[in-house]
């Protein structure tokens, strides 16, 4: 046998993988040694065996199969997994850096013996006699703080300031007696999950010391409390036997009733702050028996546990006349505080209202023998006004304002328009006006054979149109005549037409893609109380996402007034023609009674209402939650129980199928609620009808609906299909309409629609989800106009629960772009306040850092829709793209390519949230972790920075930093030819140029094969289509 000769010949012919098929390897080791000697030729080889003795055959075969796959051999996945479906898994943006988290959980970071609210002391080198304590406080850390709520907001109790001051003064004065004086609480300290730094500074002066307690929030320090401390030898008042006080205060009252009364005024104490176990009342005074609740934790590390002291101060509220307690009454000042003996877990609190004062008095903490443990003189309480809720900074909405059109910019010319024509006559009238100005207009009715995706793509491509105008939505019935069939028709015809029009524009092959105009009627509530058409509004959410994904489309939304008479068609056509000819920059426009309005994204002021009472739900009513067995639905259900609900109906397609769902239901039931689970597809009217007839009829009356159902099927507009739109819109839009019809005759207290921020601001890859949520927003306005309860909440993404949390990495990506995740408890807290106080039909709760978002999507810096938010960010937050062009123009020719390359690496690092210095210029973008969505984001960022119009497939045509930088350098050469050559070179020629070495060796064909191997079939098709279009342009020119 000439076995080795054969192996050498195979190796020379390029074979590098060898498989020994035998029950146990016999020649494999020898073969490996021989091949290693041949490795000097530069070609490594791999040798695997099919089976091994004493090993599981299936496992061994799979391991060998894997070794071949890693070595680069082709794998027949269909043969390996005949019953499965092979899908492409997105690449991950590996940063390839050591990331070992050393930090302990924050609860573990607190050192034993250190005051939980004060922290460890530090002397200040720059100020003699100053001592500083600093710590971080959270909504629930220390845990008892979460139970001190004012109007459902966690607020640091006034008792905590006293405790902190006592501990700080004891650090300075030791065992010597001292007195605290002049405590003033300037501003409530609201705590949240993110936490805030709290700093206490004590500065010693001759005979006294000053204390200031501050927090660092929003980039600056905020002062919350100030006071003085000084040594004092004054003795405390003599003991007062508790029995004597009890005999004098004969009237006893129920502690539970007292806490209920306080809750009604906005002081909703949790278990840790319900320390009253007995209460006696007299004229202008009260006596309370206090025990530190188990849930408050140990008192050992406190001077006086804040929960114990707060309960003592609650007794003062009991001493006040009931007529004086209006709203949440909180301490705002104390004239003096003196401490006697040690304070443990029990105390008696004796409170007296000062003579001649309504809201001021004294509080004494007594032990069982009546000895004074703590004395507060001159305690003053006040109604807490204007407590700043955390959502104040999260509010986001759309404001409409009048703005006339600048007709001086109107241009008559030989434009070519494709108009998706309505049947009501607007398209005909519009076409006549455009043709009169010299334009070419092609009308495509929805019933035309050319109305298909293929037909529109052909018309756009062959007609070389400059603009596409979508008018099909104008044939929607009026909002008052909307039906489920109209909603379905709007999804298929109107949204489908818009999707196909946008796809046709993107694939037209022209250097400048056509501008897209989406025209609706009555889709937006421009004026207060105006009715909106939910079906028409589908296009607005879609359009906002399309314009975010593809700013080159200039996608503009125009809303005409509802109920326009035929006599108004000429005026509407004239207004539309003027808009098209003017080619203005406005993103969103509306016409009402001849007046022109434009939209702006704004941070609206909170509604000015009386302090909201915490919402209370009826125990003898039922409440329905769709998506009720999802994480967000279950969080809402558990919150409802805390607000008094006792009958919950949770709808979901699969019921309580998982252990987590079953455990959550058990928790709700153990809290005293009855849970009815409906296995229902809420998009099916028949299933909903059956459920309401057979199940809901046996429950107490329905008084509230929360529609939280939804699914995601993300994909860029160019890759979307009507089927994917239907899958997303059915459980959101269609289900919402079914619920509206089924409940509009019921006396509901609320009808809440869980919408999303994407319908307000758009989100790349979520055009279908944005369209569905735009429907919910309009439905809320539709119901409100008709006198029905309605609230659509445009939530930002949630952590821990919800669709963003369910999709791996989505929440982190959004947070990296400036859209912070809401925590479930934050969401339910806000929901409670909205239900009790908001009169709006739609409220956006979006913790958005506008500066960071615009830096990630820099093309928004030129968007009129975003202009108000842009003005609100600091100067320099948005860097104009011309800076890069000016830098290139001023740089020596030999440095320009390096500037471009550094820019590309920097933008990739921004998109992938990685380090630019670690990006290799020859590594394919796929290997770096770019996918179709992040590739599009990179294209958009480069467009904005360079002021160029770049194709959507740019990063797959020039698929590494080196190749892309060379192409961008060619496009930006400042020799007067850049504008004439702004279309990229044919990919083959450009890639060869990018792959050539300095000696002129051309490896372009190999480079192209490598790049194509990393593309999906859809990306290959898009690349081929664009390449052919570019080649056609070159042939024609």
pLDDT digits (tens, 9 = 90+) for 634-679: 999 999 998 889 999 999 998 888 998 999 999 999 999 999 999 9
Q: Which residue, among 434, 444, 555, has the nearest Cα to 502 in the 3D structure?
A: 555
403 and 596 in contact (C-beta within 8 Å)? yes
Please, is 369 exposed, middle or buried when counting C-beta atoms within 10 Å of its C-beta (0-12, 13-18, 19+)?
Answer: exposed
pLDDT of 615 = 75
SS3 372: strand
Helix axes 426-436, 569-582, angle to 10 degrees: 50
Query: Which positions are annotated as active-site residues?
Result: 148, 310
43-52, 501-510, 946-955: the lowest-pLDDT one: 946-955
pLDDT 10s digits, 675-705: 999 999 999 999 999 998 887 678 999 999 9
Q: Which residue, among 895, 891, 929, 896, has the nearest Cα to 911 in the 3D structure?
A: 929
pLDDT of 384 = 74
146 and 268 in contact (C-beta within 8 Å)? no
What's the CA gap between 423 and 425, in Å, rounded? 6
Confidence of residue 386 (pLDDT cuts 50, 70, 90): low
544 and 550 in contact (C-beta within 8 Å)? no
For 623, other C-beta atoms within 10 Å of its C-beta total 29
Confidence of residue 64 (pLDDT cuts 50, 70, 90): confident
pLDDT of 522 = 93
CATH number where 155 lies: 3.10.129.110
Report whether pLDDT(998) > 60: no
- How is residue 57 written in tokens? 């055959």
Beta bridge partners of 179: 230, 338
Q: Are residues 569 and 663 in the same domain?
A: no
pLDDT of 879 = 46
Q: Are residues 773 and 635 in the same domain?
A: yes
Per-residue CA distances from 594 to 45, 360, 568, 590 (Å): 77, 60, 9, 10
Q: Are residues 457 and 345 in the same domain?
A: no
In this structure, is residue 612 part of a structural domain?
Answer: no
Rounded average pLDDT over 815-822: 81
Please, is 566 exposed, middle or buried when counting C-beta atoms within 10 Å of its C-beta (0-12, 13-18, 19+)?
Answer: exposed
Q: What percent of the chain has pLDDT over 90?
A: 40
Cis peptide before 858 (omega within 30 of 0): no
SS3 89: coil
pLDDT 10s digits, 338-379: 988 788 899 999 999 987 667 899 999 998 888 889 999 999
Q: Are residues 638 and 523 in the same domain?
A: no
Rounded average pLDDT over 866-882: 63
- How is residue 319 written in tokens? 């001493």
Q: Are residues 674 and 811 in the same domain?
A: yes
Beta-carbon contacts of residue 275 (< 8 Å; ≥ 6 apart)? 290, 291, 292, 293, 296, 307, 308, 310, 311, 314
Per-residue b/e over 762-787, b at no fewer than 16 CB within 10 Å? bbbbbbbbbbbbbbbbbbbbbbbbee
CATH number where 455 lies: 3.40.50.11460
SS3 4: helix
In this structure, is residue 296 part of a structural domain?
Answer: yes
Q: Which residue, among 541, 466, 459, 451, has the nearest Cα to 496 in the 3D structure?
A: 451
Confidence of residue 543 (pLDDT cuts 50, 70, 90): very high
Task: Give me the number of domains the chain comprises.
Answer: 6
Per-residue CA distances from 588 to 601, 770, 833, 944 (Å): 10, 16, 31, 21
Per-residue b/e over 647-670, b at no fewer than 16 CB within 10 Å? bbbbbbbebbeeeebeebbeebee
| Global pTM value | 0.64
For 19, other C-beta atoms within 10 Å of its C-beta total 16
| 285-291 and 276-282 beta bridge pairing | antiparallel
Q: Which helix (H) or strand (E) holds 267?
A: strand 267-269
50 and 60 in contact (C-beta within 8 Å)? yes
Q: What is the dihedral of CA 916, 918, 924, 929, to 10 degrees?
A: -80
SS (H, E, C) 132-165: EEEEEEECCECHHHHHEEECCEEECCHHHHHHHH
Report whether pLDDT(573) > 80: yes
What's the CA gap between 398 and 587, in Å, rounded? 12
Q: Are residues 759 and 889 in the same domain?
A: no
- How is residue 287 written in tokens? 């006596």
- How is residue 772 written in tokens? 């569905």
pLDDT 10s digits, 227-285: 999 988 776 777 778 888 888 888 888 999 999 888 888 888 999 999 999 999 988 89
The domain in which residue 768 lies consists of 622-847
Beta-carbon contacts of residue 698 (< 8 Å; ≥ 6 apart)? none
Report whether pLDDT(500) > 70: yes
pLDDT of 826 = 84
Per-range mean pLDDT, top range of 49-63, 320-334, 746-760: 746-760
Q: Are residues 172 and 282 in the same domain?
A: no
The pair phi, psi for residue 59, each rounded to 5°, is -65, -40
What's the CA gap between 486 and 378, in Å, rounded? 68
CATH number where 687 lies: 3.40.50.720
| 153-154 and 148-150 beta bridge pairing | antiparallel
Q: Are residues 657 and 740 in the same domain?
A: yes
In this structure, is residue 774 part of a structural domain?
Answer: yes
Q: Largest alpha-carbon pair distance within the chain?
A: 118
In this structure, is residue 869 part of a structural domain?
Answer: no
230-239, 540-549, 668-677, 968-977: the lowest-pLDDT one: 968-977
Q: Are residues 952 and 1020 in the same domain?
A: yes
What's the CA gap between 590 and 394, in Å, rounded? 26
Per-residue CA distances from 417 to 466, 488, 525 (Å): 6, 28, 29
Rounded average pLDDT over 924-941: 78
Q: Are residues 663 and 563 in the same domain?
A: no
pLDDT of 452 = 93
Q: Are residues 826 and 886 in the same domain?
A: no
What's the CA gap between 683 and 707, in Å, rounded? 12
Per-residue CA distances from 476 to 363, 370, 533 (Å): 69, 79, 9
For 67, other C-beta atoms within 10 Å of its C-beta total 16
What's the CA gap between 491 and 733, in Å, rounded? 10
What's the CA gap between 936 and 765, in Å, rounded? 10
Report whether pLDDT(470) > 90: yes
Domain boundary among 346, 361, 383: 383
In this structure, is residue 677 part of a structural domain?
Answer: yes
Report whether pLDDT(1028) > 70: no
* Mean of the per-residue pLDDT values of the chain: 82
The pair phi, psi for residue 880, each rounded to 5°, is -65, 145
Beta-carbon contacts of residue 114 (< 8 Å; ≥ 6 apart)? 120, 301
Domain boundary among 52, 80, 108: 80
Report whether pLDDT(290) > 90: yes
CATH number where 887 lies: 1.10.1200.10
Q: Are residues 490 and 555 in the same domain?
A: yes
For 107, other C-beta atoms within 10 Å of its C-beta total 11
Report whether pLDDT(988) > 50: no
The pair phi, psi for residue 18, each rounded to 5°, is -130, 135
pLDDT of 268 = 85
Q: What is the dihedral of CA 880, 884, 885, 886, to 10 degrees?
A: 90
Alpha helical stretches, state H, 588-715: 631-642, 659-670, 685-694
Domain boundary among 80, 98, 132: 80
SS3 828: helix
In this structure, is residue 390 part of a structural domain?
Answer: no
In this structure, is residue 608 part of a structural domain?
Answer: no
Between 877 and 413, name the one with better pLDDT.
413
The pair phi, psi for residue 647, each rounded to 5°, is -135, 105
Per-residue b/e over 499-532, b at no fewer than 16 CB within 10 Å? bbbbbbbbbbbbeebbbbbbbbbbbbbbeeebbb
What's the CA gap between 802 and 758, in Å, rounded? 14
SS3 732: helix
Q: Where are the beta strands (DSSP E) in 817-950?
A: 842-845
Long-range CB contacts (< 8 A, 24+ apart) of 965-969? 965/897, 965/900, 965/901, 965/904, 965/921, 966/897, 966/990, 966/993, 966/994, 967/994, 968/900, 968/903, 968/904, 968/942, 969/896, 969/897, 969/900
| 346-353 and 285-291 beta bridge pairing | antiparallel
Report whether pLDDT(174) > 90: no
Report whether pLDDT(217) > 50: yes
In this structure, is residue 1012 part of a structural domain?
Answer: yes
Report whether pLDDT(105) > 50: no
pLDDT of 565 = 56
């Amino acid at each position: 046998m000439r076995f080795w000769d054969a192996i050498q010949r195979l190796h020379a012919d390029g074979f590098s993988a060898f498989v020994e098929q035998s029950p146990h390897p016999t020649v494999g080791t020898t073969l490996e040694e021989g091949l290693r000697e041949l490795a000097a030729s530069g070609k490594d080889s791999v040798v695997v065996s099919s089976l091994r003795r004493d090993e599981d055959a299936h496992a061994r075969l799979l391991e060998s199969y894997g070794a071949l796959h890693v070595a680069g051999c082709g794998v027949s996945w269909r043969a390996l997994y005949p019953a499965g479906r092979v899908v492409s898994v997105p690449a991950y943006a590996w940063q390839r850096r050591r990331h070992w988290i050393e930090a302990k959980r924050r609860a573990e970071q607190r050192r034993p013996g250190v005051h939980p609210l004060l922290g460890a002391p530090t002397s200040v080198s720059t100020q003699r006699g100053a001592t500083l304590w600093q710590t971080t406080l959270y909504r629930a850390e220390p845990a008892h703080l979460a139970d001190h709520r004012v109007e459902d907001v966690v607020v640091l109790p006034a008792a905590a300031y006293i405790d902190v001051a006592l501990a700080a003064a004891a650090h300075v004065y030791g065992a010597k007696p001292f007195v605290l004086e002049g405590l003033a609480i300037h501003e409530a300290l609201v705590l949240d999950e993110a936490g805030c730094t709290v700093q206490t500074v004590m500065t010693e002066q001759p005979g006294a010391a000053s204390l200031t307690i501050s927090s660092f929030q929003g980039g600056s320090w905020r002062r919350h409390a100030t006071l003085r401390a000084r040594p004092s030898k004054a003795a405390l008042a003599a003991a007062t036997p508790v029995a004597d006080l009890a005999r004098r205060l004969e009237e006893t009252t129920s502690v539970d009733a007292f806490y209920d009364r306080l809750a009604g005024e906005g002081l909703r104490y949790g278990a840790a702050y319900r320390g009253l176990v007995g209460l006696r009342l007299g004229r202008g005074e009260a006596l309370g028996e206090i025990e530190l609740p188990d849930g408050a934790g140990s008192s050992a590390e406190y001077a006086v546990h804040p929960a114990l002291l707060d309960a003592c101060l609650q007794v003062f509220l009991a001493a006040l006349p009931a007529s004086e307690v209006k709203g949440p009454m909180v301490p705002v000042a104390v004239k003096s505080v003196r401490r006697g003996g040690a304070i443990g877990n029990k105390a008696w609190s004796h409170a007296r209202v000062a003579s001649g004062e309504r809201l001021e008095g004294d509080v004494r903490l007594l032990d069982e023998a009546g000895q004074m443990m703590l004395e507060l003189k001159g305690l003053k309480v006040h109604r807490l006004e204007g407590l700043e809720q955390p959502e104040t900074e999260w509010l986001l909405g759309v404001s409409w304002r009048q703005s006339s059109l600048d007709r001086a910019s109107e241009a008559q010319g030989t434009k070519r328009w494709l108009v998706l024509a309505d049947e009501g006559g607007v398209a005909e009238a519009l076409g006549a006006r455009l043709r009169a100005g010299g334009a070419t207009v092609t009308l495509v009715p929805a019933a035309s054979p050319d109305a298909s995706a293929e037909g529109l793509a052909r018309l756009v491509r062959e007609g070389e149109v400059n603009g596409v105008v979508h008018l099909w939505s104008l044939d929607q019935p009026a909002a008052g005549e909307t039906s489920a069939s109209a909603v379905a028709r709007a999804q298929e015809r109107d949204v489908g037409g818009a999707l196909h029009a946008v796809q046709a524009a993107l694939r037209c092959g022209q250097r400048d893609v056509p501008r897209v105009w989406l025209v609706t009627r009555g889709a937006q509530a421009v004026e207060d109380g105006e009715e909106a058409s939910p079906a028409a509004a589908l296009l607005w959410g879609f359009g906002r996402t399309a314009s975010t994904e593809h700013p080159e489309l200039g996608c503009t939304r125009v809303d005409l007034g509802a109920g326009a008479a035929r006599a108004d068609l000429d005026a509407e056509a004239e207004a539309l023609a003027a808009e098209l000819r003017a080619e203005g920059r406005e993103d969103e426009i509306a016409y009402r009674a001849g007046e022109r309005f434009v939209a702006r994204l704004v941070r609206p002021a909170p509604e000015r209402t009386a302090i909201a009472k915490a919402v209370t739900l009826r125990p003898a009513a039922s409440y329905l939650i769709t998506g009720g067995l999802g994480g967000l639905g279950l969080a809402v259900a558990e919150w409802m129980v805390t607000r008094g609900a006792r009958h919950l109906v949770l709808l979901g397609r699969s019921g309580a199928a998982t252990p987590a769902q079953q455990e959550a239901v058990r928790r709700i039931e153990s809290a005293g609620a009855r849970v009815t689970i409906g296995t229902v597809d809420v998009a099916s009217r028949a299933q909903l009808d059956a459920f309401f007839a057979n199940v809901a009829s046996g429950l107490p009356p329905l008084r509230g609906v929360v529609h939280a159902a939804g699914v995601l099927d993300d994909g860029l507009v160019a890759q979307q299909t009507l089927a994917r739109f239907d899958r997303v819109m059915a459980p959101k839009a269609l289900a919402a309409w079914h619920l509206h019809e089924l409940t509009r005759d019921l006396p509901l207290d609320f009808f809440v629609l869980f919408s999303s921020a994407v319908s307000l601001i758009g989100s790349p890859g979520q055009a279908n989800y944005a369209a569905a949520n735009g429907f919910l927003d309009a439905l809320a306005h539709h119901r409100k106009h008709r006198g029905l309860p309605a609230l659509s909440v445009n939530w930002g993404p949630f952590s821990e629960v919800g669709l963003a949390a369910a999709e791996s990495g989505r929440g982190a990506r959004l947070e990296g772009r400036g859209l912070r995740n809401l925590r479930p408890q934050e969401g339910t807290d806000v929901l409670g306040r909205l239900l009790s106080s908001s009169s709006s039909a739609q409220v956006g709760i979006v913790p958005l850092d506008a500066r960071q978002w615009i830096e990630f999507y820099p093309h928004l810096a030129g968007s009129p829709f975003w202009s108000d938010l842009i003005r609100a960010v600091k100067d320099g937050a948005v860097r104009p793209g011309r800076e890069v062009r000016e830098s290139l123009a001023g740089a020596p020719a030999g440095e320009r390519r390096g500037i471009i390359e550094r820019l590309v690496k920097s933008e990739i690092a921004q998109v992938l949230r990685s380090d630019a210095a670690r990006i290799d210029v020859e590594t394919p973008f796929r290997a770096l972790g770019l996918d179709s969505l992040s590739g599009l984001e990179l294209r958009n960022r480069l467009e904005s920075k360079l002021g160029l119009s770049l194709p959507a497939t740019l990063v797959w045509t020039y698929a590494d930093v080196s190749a892309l930088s060379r192409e961008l350098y060619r496009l930006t050469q400042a020799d007067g030819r850049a504008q004439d050559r702004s279309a990229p070179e044919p990919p083959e020629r450009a890639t060869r140029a990018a792959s050539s070495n300095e000696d002129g060796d051309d490896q372009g064909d190999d480079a192209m094969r490598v790049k194509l191997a990393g593309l999906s079939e859809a990306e290959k098709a898009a690349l081929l289509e664009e390449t052919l279009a570019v080649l056609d342009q070159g042939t024609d020119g």
